[in-house]
Amino acid sequence: MNDLLSLDHVSKRFSKKQDLAMRIAARLGAKIQTQTVHAVDDVCLSVASREVVGLVGESGCGKSTLGRVAAGIHPPSEGQLLWQGQPATNTREAQLKVQMVFQDPMSSLNPRHRIDRIISEAPRFHGQIRARDASDFAADLLQKVGLDPDFRIRYPHQFSGGQRQRIAIARALAVKPEIIVADEAVSALDVSVQAQVLNLFMDLREQLGLAYLFISHDLGVVEHIADRVVIMYLGRVVESAPTETLFDNPLHPYSQALLAEVPRLTTGKRRYQPIKGEIPSPLNPPTGCHFHPRCPLADGECRAKQPPLREIAPGHKVACHKVAEPKLQHGEQ
Ligand SMILES: Nc1ncnc2c1ncn2[C@@H]1O[C@H](COP(=O)(O)OP(=O)(O)OP(=O)(O)O)[C@@H](O)[C@H]1O
């Protein structure tokens, strides 16, 4: 498959906001050290045409930040974005090719604007449609996402959560993207509505040839929708594999622990130990392998050395000192 979007050794750091006490102390002349949050740390990730990549990990591991970097909302602190192999940051077209759908459509849809304005705003701004075509344009997109075209004259508060998420999807589609970054896009919806919106994502993939970076903490949803799964832990990718491979044979102790938390998924499969302890602070990440303080296999090497992400089978990459190198077949280099 040809990669559309690639994140090449991308890191994203934030300066931690100072709380009130720190700001007052700073005003009084105290020397306050700025703390740095290592939200995303040296991540390589790609999304191919029509591919659904599931991005999974506990809260705070950097999924949303990575999604925002992929969608061009946050510039990376290090590394770069490539669109079809070319640096993407300078071309407006490349930025429009990746659109984002968020968890809470109520806060991302302007409550004072009519739906036709919300949907047509970006393509009008970018000169893709004329003002007089905006209403028909919105009606057409509403139909594409399974809503009544007459809804275009209504306001966001007049819709249910599932309908608002469809409107957010229509707005994302308005600039003709090739990749949608869906950030916990079904997490706030009831289970039956979740299934409908997931089906809509899959229908749009068929109809429009879309690819997705699908961010979710819900492994059940990811198993259902993704072709490939990327597991993040404290800003780094720890494992990446085709979905079936990852669910049948997770290799990283963190991936195994995540799967152990979903009983339905482990039925009839190998049993793994659930994860213990809290995710450490990205302000002061552990040395070596970030997962070592919670890992049952950790030893001195894990505490001292960061494991590289190695390809141990075609398409299956893992960053763990304890996963053995694959044995070379006779005649292989
Ligand atoms: N704008 C920001 N300024 C400072 N710190 C931030 C900012 N955005 C995210 N962070 C921090 O970066 C880390 C990763 O956050 P992020 O939201 O990307 O994780 P996540 O895996 O998506 O978690 P969640 O599922 O809870 O959203 C967290 O420690 C978070 O507090």
Q: What's the pLDDT score for residue 185?
A: 92
In sequence order, which residues have a C-beta less than 8 Å from that of residue 294 and are 6 or more positions away? 254, 257, 275, 276, 277
Q: Could you tell me the two tokens for 310? A: 């190695």
Give nearest CA residue, ligand 1 atom 26. 59
Q: What is the pLDDT of residue 269?
A: 55
pLDDT at 25: 77
187 near 103, Cβ under 8 Å?
A: yes
ipTM score for this prediction: 0.96
Ligand 1 atom 28: the closest Cα is on which residue?
A: 60
Give, for ligand 1, the residue of 64, 254, 279 to mutate: max count of ligand atoms closer than 8 Å to Cβ: 64
CA distances to 7, 51, 177 from 3, in Å: 10, 9, 15
Which helix or strand (DSSP H or E) is residue 120 part of? helix 115-125
Q: What is the fold, at CATH topology level, of the domain defined by 3-97+177-235?
A: Rossmann fold (3.40.50)
User: In Å, how far are 56, 169, 228, 243, 264 from 220, measured between CA atoms?
Assistant: 11, 22, 14, 11, 9
Other C-beta atoms closer than 10 Å to the C-beta of 166 total 24
Q: What is the pLDDT of residue 329?
A: 55
Atom number in ligand 1 closest to CA 235: 14
How many Å lie between the centroid of ligand 1 and the Cα of residue 47? Answer: 22
Q: Read off the pTM.
A: 0.90
Q: Give yes or no for a contact between 85 and 3, defined as CB atoms under 8 angstroms apart.
A: yes
- Which residues have CB under 6 Å of ligand 1? 14, 37, 39, 57, 59-65, 217, 282
Q: What pLDDT, on a 0 to 100 scale, did the predictor assign at position 49?
A: 95
Inter-CA distances, 246 with 101, 219, 258, 283, 321, Å: 26, 11, 11, 30, 18
Give tens-digit pLDDT for 141-172: 999 999 999 999 999 999 999 999 999 999 99
Q: Which amino acid is at 272?
A: Y
pLDDT of residue 261: 77
Taking the CA of residue 58 as reference, the ligand 1 atom at the shortest distance is: 21
Name the residue of 16, 17, 37 whose CB sits within 8 Å of the most ligand 1 atoms, as the mutation to test its pocket. Answer: 37
Instruction: Specify the 3-state DSSP secondary structure of 240.
Output: strand
pLDDT tens for each residue of the chain, 333 residues long: 689 999 999 999 998 766 677 678 777 777 666 788 999 999 999 999 999 999 999 999 999 999 999 999 999 999 999 999 888 865 566 678 999 999 987 788 999 999 999 999 999 998 899 999 999 999 999 999 999 999 999 999 999 999 999 999 999 999 999 999 999 999 989 988 999 999 999 999 999 999 999 999 889 899 999 999 999 999 999 999 999 999 999 999 999 999 887 765 544 555 677 777 888 888 889 999 999 999 999 999 999 999 999 999 999 999 999 998 766 555 554
Which residue, by CA, sits nearest to atom 6 of ligand 1?
14
Q: How far is the CA of 142 from the centre of ligand 1 (A)?
A: 32
